[in-house]
Amino acid sequence: MAAPRSQPLLLLLLVALLAASTDAWGKEGHIMVCKIAERYLSEEAAAAVQDLLPESAGGELSTMCPWADTMRFRYHWASPLHYANTPNVCNFKFSRDCHNSRGQRGMCVVGAINNYTDQLYTYGDSPKSSYNLTESLMFLAHFVGDVHQPLHVGYEEDEGGNTIMVRWYRRKANLHHVWDVSIIDTVMKDFYNKSLDTMVAALQTNLTEGWSDDVGHWENCANKKATCANDYAIESIHLSCNYAYKDVVQNITLGDDYYFTRYPVVEKRLAQAGVRLALILNRIFDKKKADTMPLYVQ
């Protein structure tokens, strides 16, 4: 009789795995971020990335950018690294907010970005780095995407919108899932013929045209060696308060009014994440020119 009892348990485990795999920008969002970043890498940075990527990547960083979500049940300790929560306030403070449930400081998305950046700075050292730099690269690429999803820096009380149940038009969802997946899926369907590559091309066009005056500001980072992940988290909690949470209550139906005022925020955050990921990788792998290097499209 033991075997039949195991089936519901297996089903529950499968459901849990599926739920965990979508708890970030959806797969498409992470791929878009990295496709944009690849266009802005210097020759030296692109070569280093190629050297570190696993063979399964097929030479493209973007194929590995959802990887960190698939590893949550293997690397339990990494779950808190995908987000940061504030005590229900619209500001982020590293000393107060960057910790896991056991209070270990640095165990949040900002700490993760800084940690994996530091690890990647050992690339090319002699003797060889003791870190698994392939995993460091894949974690870093994923977490730079995560910190730009506004609700990955949300309220502790509702777990970044995960406990706020809504309807996205006719479909039940939680608010976090709406920002991870639903808005992107709807935009792709409405404007880009359900094509990820078409949407990426449109974002890249905006980077050289509509957002061209803004890109220089996105690049600004006082920390010339590492990252400005703290600043990106501050941006995200402000966007959470002003857009994601605004006018949302339990069981509300979110339709056109919400969608048409929020999807531009999502598109810009995807583009910002791509630009900034490239900036970090260029600084890591092109050390001689890192402090003065402008971003440019390959």
Q: Is residue 87 part of a domain?
A: yes
Q: Is residue 281 part of a domain?
A: yes
Q: Are 61 and 37 in contact (CB under 8 A)?
A: yes
Residue 296 has pLDDT above 60, yes or no: no
Higher pLDDT, residue 154 or 25: 154
**171 to 80, 137, 174, 185: CA distances (angstroms):** 28, 36, 10, 13
Number of domains, the chain: 1
Q: Is residue 230 part of a domain?
A: yes
Q: Is residue 52 part of a domain?
A: yes
DSSP state for residue 162 in the 8-state scheme: T
Q: Is residue 14 part of a domain?
A: no
pLDDT tens for each residue of 97-146:
999 999 999 999 999 999 999 999 999 887 888 899 999 999 999 999 99
pLDDT tens for each residue of 130-141:
899 999 999 999
| Torsion of Cα atoms, 273 then 239 then 218 then 43, to 10° | 0
pLDDT tens for each residue of 63-78:
999 999 999 889 999 9
Q: Is residue 21 part of a domain?
A: no
Average pLDDT, the chain: 88
pLDDT at 72: 83
Helices (H) and strands (E) in the chain, counts: 13, 5
Domain span at residue 96 reads 27-285
Which CATH number covers residue 146? 1.10.575.10
Rounded to two decimals, the pTM is 0.89
Q: Is residue 203 part of a domain?
A: yes
Q: Is residue 16 part of a domain?
A: no
Q: Are 271 and 203 in contact (CB under 8 A)?
A: yes
pLDDT at 234: 96
